[in-house]
Structure 1
Amino acid sequence: MNKHSNNSNQSNRRIRYMPGLDGLRAIAVMGIIIYHLNKLWLTGGFLGVDTFFVISGYLITSLLLYEYENTGIINLKRFWLRRIKRLIPAMLVLVVTVTLATLIFKPEQVVSIKHDAFAAIFYVSNWWYIATDVNYFEQFAFMPLKHLWSLAIEEQFYIIFPIVLITLLLTVKKYRNVTLIFWVISLISLLLMVVISQPHMQHSRVYFGTDTRLQTMLLGVILAFVWPPFKLKHNPNHILRNIIDVIGTMGLFVLLLLFIYVDDNSDWIYNGGFYLISGLTLFVIISAVHPSGYFAKLMGNALFVCIGKRSYSLYLWHFPIISFMHSYYVDGQIPIFVYVIDIVLTIVFAEISYKFVETPFRKQGIKAFSLNKYRKSALIRTVLLLAITIPTIFILAGAFDRFGKEQINNKSTSYNTEDIDKYLVRPIPVDNINFLGNSNFKKDKDSDVYTDLKPLLIGDSVMVDIGDTFKMHVPNATIDGKVGRNLYEAIPLSDDKYKAYNNKSKQVVLELGTNGDFSKAQLEELISKYGKANVYLINTRVPRNYESHVNQLMADAAKKHDNVTLIDWYKRSEGHSEYFAPDGIHLEQSGVKALTDEILKHIASKETSK
């Protein structure tokens, strides 16, 4: 009798398929794809990654607890084997394909892609990007494997977490105490993020770090203890079911609002925001996994389930496709048909991956590959894989590094005339010939070389772009440009190095706003550092959501202060895609000349009118 009762109990508590979770996966991956297509369309779409983290923590813990309760053990070997079969084959095919495609279409990027590929293969992409300080410069660069940082965190979690869980179950034993321990660890992870992150600074360390992102997955772990899907009643009372549906609906509504309104430059998300947002996701999961709820049925509709089942494939392929396609266009000026191609190719490649790589390998394991001519599908799969893998091995071995060295060596992250003037003797233009390669200079009275001007120029990477050209026109200029610089970083710089420019006879040009938003107070503080000088504010053209705000602040400041003049680069560059590199921000030579001309036009006009 007891045996029969135990068998019946286990049967009723077996893990069931939860289509509502696939529906939530569908929403998460669609948010991520829209965000990567164009950040302005869904500024908080990146939060879909955290949704995946919470789901992963919840589902994996649920499966492990189910196994532990029904067998008394957790078979780690079997668990890890399932993860390998589920995740690694598709990822390796992606890495191999992207690496080979880079050699064919973007050979100058072959060295950087090789490094990223190694990091991806060993699931350490997140720490690789932290170690190489991927922040501003890389966010505009061609990095088609960058999205694999999140998969690296998940895989690290899958390796370590089951061991920790087993240890706690065997030693602490009581679920309540185990849950409390995981909650404390999640708070420690949250605290690490808060302590390490700094206001208005680049957040790559806390965003990519496994330790700082662990908080999100552990919230899912905790929910698995509190709300295990295999213990939920199929027929709860009417009031309880309605409550469950309401909290899920409200949670999803607020989550979608966050997808729309949260900005990746917001400091608050690094100071508890991710924790709160992930906590909100728990309410959606509570409703999505309930076997009898209307919300779960709605989330588990056929379309969402179809997308959710392919969410891993869609996530893998969308970013490389977008990276390759958009690299041939100026960011912010991409035609609509390109976005359509992005979506179509993403669906096609994801479906190929899902049907011919993920599913066969998950079901058949290594038997999905064969050189037996009578197993046509396996044979074709094997031949194609070898065809792309063999040349990729040569790429990873460094056989094609020579194509990428020049670009690596020529990356410039700063331009400072103090450093340059120590080691460089600049040639004097003679008879319209300039030894630096620009033959537009004249020696007569109409010369476009302004030897009487001695302006200070402070800026970011755009200033780095124009540094040499501007210096040739204004040899006595002091130029301080640095990649990734934000406006607030120029405030202490003004006190430390450039106090002497707060003088009526001085000109100060500020080109800041490319890398992020700033407040009116911050702009006013910077302007006050040069309250006696003539200040020139260069507004920005940057395909980011803060563009209009920073430009409006500069326009307002120019109207407010008599000593402030607006240099309208946004207007001057309108319709001139040839001015810009593919990122839509950094300048080609024609853009360098245009911006230099615009600055000189304003300074020369104002200074000669005195």
Structure 2
Amino acid sequence: MKNNSFRNDINGLRAIAVIAVVLFHFNASWVPGGFAGVDVFFVISGFLMTGIIFRGIEQENFSILKFYVARANRIIPALAVLCLVLLIFGWFYLTPLDYKALGKHAASSMAFLSNIIYWREAGYFDAASHEKWLLHTWSLSVEWQFYIIYPLILVAMRKFMSIDKIKLFILLGTVLGFIFCVIATYKWPNPSYYLLPTRAWEMMIGGVAYLYPLTLQENRKKIVEWIGVILIIGSYFLISAENLWPGYLALFPVLGSFLIIQANRNNSIITNNIIFQKLGAWSYSIYLWHWPLVVIIYTFSLPDHYIYLGVILSIFFGFLSYKYIEKIKFRNDFSSLFSYFKSKPIYMVFMLGGLSSIIFINEGLNRNTTYLEGYVEKTKSTKYCHVDSVALSNIGPAKKLDCRLGSKNSQPIGLLWGDSYAGHLDPFVINFLNEKQSFVSRTASHCVPSISLTKSLGSLPEYCKKIRQKTLQEIKNKKYKVIFLGGRWEYMYTEDGDIGFNAVLDAMDIAAKNAEIVYVVEQPTFYQKNVRNTYLRSKISSYYPSEFVKNDELPIQMNLKLAKVIKDRNYKNVHIINRDVLYGDPLHSDLTSVGIPYTSDTGHLSNTGSIEMSNNFMKSTLSDPLKTKFPDILKKPF
């Protein structure tokens, strides 16, 4: 336990982790559960950090500031260089929109808060993960947050607790942390993936490996090591992104890492071969550089064979970063408190963080305005009344349940109800609505119009339950004469299957019985890549692809399924607004009549697209019931 010699097995274990992560990110089909390599890194980190802290505590010479500076010297320089390179690259090749996002993410990465930023961005209105150049730094932020808190707690406990009791505390904390992780992953999957409370146990179990080493005979060491390898490699291939993570499944790669560390086989052919030793030494820098290369391949729609080049370049850049940046010996031993301000990595944080913040605050420095004048505004999607899950959780749903479209004072005649795919219809409704009339827009992320107060996979957010209960009660009380229902139907179906689909149909039945007109809006065209980004980038440079690649098979199937049910039930007052009507043409063009994309991201409508679809709807015979029964609510000339 006290041995501070280099652990070849741990260095090789780093290689096992980074290989999985890199291969998964370049092509998930190669290693479906390769993301679990990050969990392996967490265990290694916990083992090493616990060793450093406990050796210092036992020898009564542990310095928290020295510990922090040593970690900063290890992590910050290579990260700062990566951020600087990306900011320079972005100046020439990114749109102001992309550059602003890069500034935000670089600042949060340098401050080691990027895991919180990415958690808060998760949701329907989030850009594709493959367009976030520093998405992978979330794990560095989790580790750094652990580095800050962990030694403070241990040093404080040492003031009134023996070493043995602290060890028991860490063991108990690891068990409780795992239990909490399992529960939280089921209840709050997005924050559980990104935030420290559900990841801390993985680092703490590394600490347990240091504090409670196993004494094993050589032949048993080999068995323990092989069990660990099987658990890790098995998790790489038997787990996939479809599984809730980390949850109880994370126990497999975490326990596997724990066993390999406990086996302590420095002469193992598995971990102590020349290839794994080199990759293990370069693993941090390989991890840093591989993801931006993945984003480049995705962003520029490069052919599949570039994936192999990307893997090779990841290793090459990792080697260069290790040799010329990581190996620089920055000072970490200072004589006084104020002398710690001479630590060079601190200045890197402030310089890169400050520059990145300026880029974010100044809207990407408004570059390329000559090429993009007007396009940025026309292609955006404003949420209006729609609110995402994070905002609802923070402010409470009550404040957002009665958001009005049109007049704020008149009694609402209609209701727009659903998830963000109803929310993007706010401009659609405002476009035809007389300013003296009003609709209630009640839309929130992940809340399709449904009677269900449960969820097949995971748990239904509380705000969804409250929204559905209030809305269904108001509909039954005949509060609304006109109801529009919108949703991302294919997502609803993949999440909840026929149970979820039938719950939506039941909500539609209730609406049909209690309102005079009900419109169900088909889900618009769904794309593989962010349409707005593709469009704006193509205006800057011919290097960017201009084709809008669709990923629309399942949405089409769900639209047809909805239309069939409505037709079979022979409703008198329920109408489905199909894509032919929305796009004004059976060809379903990607661009509106003014040349702006209908879609803002991969599926949500831009403001321009939503308004043009409203015009197309009002020109069609589908709007006749609205024009006949409620002509006074419409704008002229409708």
TM-score (normalised: structure 2):
0.65
Letter in 2 for 1:148: T
Deviation (angstroms), 1:412: 2.0
Structure 1 portions without partners, runs of 5+: 1-9, 367-381, 426-453
Equivalent residues in 2 for 1:299-318, closer than 5 Å: 299-318=271-290
Q: Distance in 2 between matches of 1:160 and 1:242?
A: 35
Amino acid in structure 2 at the alignment position of 1:523: F
Shift of 1:344: 5.1
Do 1:53 and 1:216's aligned partners in 2 also have CA atoms closer than 8 Å? yes
C-alpha RMSD of matched pairs (Å) = 5.2
> How big is the shift at 1:507?
7.2
| 1:524 corresponds to 2:502 | yes
Matches within 5 A, 1:461-472: 461-465=420-424, 467-469=426-428, 472=431
- Residues 1:580 and 1:360: Cα distance change in structure 2 (over 3 Å): farther
Looking at structure 1, the residues matched to 442 and 304 of structure 2 have their Cα atoms a distance apart, in angstroms, of 34
Aligned residues of 1:26 and 1:308 also touching (Cα < 8 A): yes
Q: In the superposition, relative to structure 1, how do residues 256 and 209 fare at CA in structure 2: closer, same or farther (>3 Å)?
A: closer
Q: How much does 1:136 deviate? A: 4.0
Rounded to whole Å, the distance in 1 between the matches of 2:34 and 2:218 is 36
2:14 matched to which residue of 1? 25
How many Å apart are 1:325 and its aligned residue?
A: 5.0
- The 1:590/1:214 distance shift into structure 2, 3 A limit, reads same
2:317 maps to a residue whose letter is F
Deviation digits for residues 156-195 of structure 1 (CA, Å, limit 9, x no counterpart) = 32233234334556753353x3332113333454565567
Name 2:446's counterpart in structure 1.
485
Match of 2:230 among 235, 250, 257: 250
Contact 1:116–1:125 under 8 Å retained in 2: yes
Q: Deviations over 1:45-69 (max 9, x none)?
A: 4333222211211222234445666
CA spacing shift, 1:293–1:549, aligned 2, 3 Å: farther
Given that 1:51 and 1:281 are in contact with CA atoms closer than 8 Å, whether structure 2 keeps it comes out as: yes
**1:401 paired to 2:386:** no
**Does 1:50 find its partner at 2:45?**
no
Task: Write out aligned runs for 1:486-525 (5 A).
Answer: 486-487=447-448, 492=465, 493-497=467-471, 509-513=485-489, 517-519=494-496, 520-525=498-503
The 3-state SS of whatever aligns with 1:263 is coil
User: Which position in structure 2 is the counterpart of 1:604?
Assistant: 622
Question: Contact 1:413 / 1:483 at 8 angstroms: preserved in 2?
Answer: no
For residue 231 of structure 2, what is the amino acid of its counterpart? G
Distance (Å, rounded) in 1 between the aligned partners of 2:222 and 2:624: 70
* Mean Cα deviation higher: 464-473 or 158-167: 464-473
Which deviates more from structure 2 when the two are superposed, residues 180-189 or residues 581-590?
A: 581-590
| SS of 1:243 mapped into structure 2 | helix
Distance 2:112 2:78 in 1: 13
Residue 119 of structure 1: how far off its partner (Å): 3.0
Distance, in Å, in 2 between the alignment partners of 1:22 and 1:547 is: 44
CA contact (8 A) 1:579 1:591 kept: yes
Contact 2:381 2:600 in 1 (8 A): no
* 1:326 aligned residue: 298
- SS of the residue 1:303 aligns to: helix
For the residue of structure 2 that corresponds to 1:530, the secondary structure is helix
The answer to whether the 8 Å contact 2:450/2:503 transfers is no
Correspondence list, 1:528-539, <5 A = 528-531=506-509, 533=512, 536=520, 538=522
Corresponding residue for residue 207 of structure 1: 193
Partner in structure 1 of residue 205 of structure 2:
219
Amino acid at match of 2:603: I
Take 2:149 and 2:353, find their aligned partners in 1: how far apart are those partners?
30
User: Which residue of structure 1 aligns with residue 259 of structure 2?
Assistant: 286
**Cα gap change, 1:23 to 1:585, in 2 (>3 Å):** farther
Q: Which of 349, 357, 370 is residue 317 of structure 2 equivalent to?
A: 349
Contact kept in structure 2, 1:147 and 1:319, CA below 8 Å = yes
2: CA distance, partners of 1:65 / 1:113: 38
Q: Deviations over 1:205-259 (max 9, x none)?
A: x43333332222112111221227xxx56xx253x24531442243124322344
Task: State the identity as a percent.
Answer: 20
Partner of 1:447: none
Letter in 1 for 2:319: E
Return the match for 1:93 from 56, 75, 81: 81
SS in 1 for 2:404: helix
**Pick from 586, 591, 602: which aligns with 1:584?**
602
Distance verdict in 2 for CA 1:478–1:523, change over 3 Å = farther
The residue that corresponds to 1:263 in the other structure is: 242
The code of the aligned residue for 1:484 comes to S
- Secondary structure of 2:486's counterpart equals strand
Equivalent-residue separation in structure 2 for 1:20 and 1:307 (angstroms):
12
Moved more, 242-251 or 554-563: 554-563
- The alignment of Structure 1 onto Structure 2 pairs a total of residues equal to 526
Distance in structure 2 (CA, Å) of the matches to 1:202 and 1:404 = 35
Shift of 1:318: 2.8
Q: Is the 8 A contact 2:485 2:520 kept in 1?
A: yes
- For 1:304 and 1:575, the matched residues in 2 are separated by 51
Kindly provide the amino acid, as one letter, of the partner of residue 260 in structure 2: S
User: Which residue of the partner structure matches residue 125 of structure 2?
Assistant: 137
Alignment of 1:50-449 (within 5 A): 50-65=39-54, 73-74=61-62, 76=64, 78-104=66-92, 105-128=94-117, 134-140=122-128, 142-168=131-157, 171-175=160-164, 177-190=165-178, 199=187, 203-204=190-191, 206-227=192-213, 236=217, 238=219, 240-259=220-239, 261-263=240-242, 266=244, 269=245, 274=247, 277-278=250-251, 280-287=253-260, 290-292=263-265, 296-323=268-295, 326-328=298-300, 335-337=303-305, 339-340=307-308, 342-343=310-311, 345-361=313-329, 396-397=357-358, 401=362, 403=364, 412-415=382-385, 419-422=404-407
Aligned with 1:336: secondary structure?
A: coil
